[in-house]
Amino acid sequence: MKWEFELDLNTEGGLELSNRLKQKELALNFGVRNEAIYTEHTEYDKNFPSLLKTSPSEVIPFEPGDIIVNSQCFCFALVEQTSGYQKIGKLINMEGFSAENFLPFSQYGFINLVLSYEKIELKIAEINKKIINIIFIGLILLIILLIIKLIFKWKTN
């Protein structure tokens, strides 16, 4: 399965995760609980340092698909909940993302998820580059045709 997500770059955790994903994709081990898919850098994936220096003190509500972190844990919320985490983003498409779909994986201890960075603006820039190349090639061909026409007109005079 593949889910797209957006990060809140105005949060410490969202900005930190974005910066890490710009450097390389991350393959992380996540545990599965009734309320969240989570990784704790001390328990499941020691190679993934915390996204926050200190845990938030405010307890706020979260919805399924919210990406939440504290100083020990990085989670994808599966159900509505209230906790002392920072919301750093949200899944864009939720198809197949539910507690019922993930609970069978909890018997294995953890699942592996790969997080990668793909920015839409990069695709637009690539398309714009191709359009500019096509226009440039068209202009060159037009200039060549004008030169050929001028040469034939000059030879006939």
Pairing, β 111-115 against β 26-32: antiparallel
Task: Specify the amino acid at residue 70.
Answer: N
Domain residue ranges in the chain:
5-118, 121-157
Q: Which helix (H) or strand (E) holds 110?
A: none
**What is the per-residue pLDDT for 8?**
92
**What is the per-residue pLDDT for 109?**
66
DSSP 25: -
Task: Specify the amino acid at residue 100.
Answer: E
DSSP 57: -
Question: Residues 115, 51: contact at Cβ < 8 Å?
Answer: no
Q: Would you give per-residue pLDDT tens digits along the chain (157 residues)?
A: 788 889 999 999 999 999 988 888 888 888 888 788 888 766 556 667 788 888 888 888 999 999 999 888 889 999 898 888 999 999 988 888 887 887 777 666 678 888 888 765 555 666 677 788 888 898 999 999 998 888 888 777 6
Question: What CATH class does 5-118 carry?
Answer: mainly beta
41-65: burial string, b at 16+ Cβ within 10 Å, e else = beebbeebebbbeeebeeeeebebb
Q: SS3 for 125? A: helix
Question: Residues 113, 37: contact at Cβ < 8 Å?
Answer: yes
**What is the per-residue pLDDT for 64?**
92
Helix, strand, coil shares, percent, the chain, to 5: 40, 25, 35
Question: Residues 86, 11: contact at Cβ < 8 Å?
Answer: yes
